[in-house]
Amino acid sequence: MNADDLLALSPVLPVVVLDDAEAAVPTARALLAGGVRVMELTLRTDAALDAIRRVSAEVPDVVVGAGTVITPNQARAARDAGAAFLVTPGTTDALLDAVVDTGLPVLPGASTVSEAMRLAERGFERLKFFPAEASGGAAALAAIGGPLPHLRFCPTGGITVASAPRYLALRNVGCVGGSWLTPKDALAAHDYARIETLAKEASELRAEAATAR
């Protein structure tokens, strides 16, 4: 799998924060039942690496990756846990070297034209646009596409089911990242049926966006 394959897996890349690794497998299965076969487990909690191990081992039809990768050690640990891809909120030279060394597909984070150009110089043409809404939203990303038409993005940060189609309608967007598919209250209540329903809605967003182009 490469970064283009990753952007094509689903119109929405679920950004999942788990406090309990026991919830990882049923969450992954609910997303899959809803037609979403990819998930980004963020390294914001102590449960994240164990959650990645469990999904990788028990739900092979879901492509599980690690998000909020901010240190070289996290990049290596995520790879060793079975992550199939990495996502960073921003980049440093040390972090870029480390994620490249893992051999995994990576969506490195950028929020400005200069950051995107610098990443392109390093060979990254599939990027995360973060924080999307705070950085100007779909209008800003459309403007970036003018001088940098060869770059494609997964915008993440503040995007909702209502705003996602505006991003997905852009030529330089492959998918969007969203946390609304796995809301905290649903995870706390083990309401996996709700997560499945939200995933079904998300899986239909690409077709909706195509009609808006």
- Active-site amino acid positions: 40, 128
Q: Does residue 154 contact residue 7 with C-beta atoms inside 8 Å? A: yes
In terms of Cα–Cα distance, which of 130, 115, 119 is closest to 177? Answer: 130
Residue 27, SS3 per DSSP: helix
Q: Are 165 and 209 in contact (CB under 8 A)?
A: yes
* CA dihedral (31, 24, 66, 53) positive or negative: negative
Quick one: tokens of 101? 């060394």
What DSSP assignment string belongs to 88-130? -SS--HHHHHHHHHHTS-EE-EE-SHHHHHHHHHTT--EEEET
The dihedral built from the CA positions of residue 95, 42, 125 and 130, taken in this order, carries a sign that is: negative
169 φ/ψ angles, rounded to the nearest 5 degrees:
-75, -10
CA distance 167 to 122: 25
Distance CA 57, CA 178 (A): 24
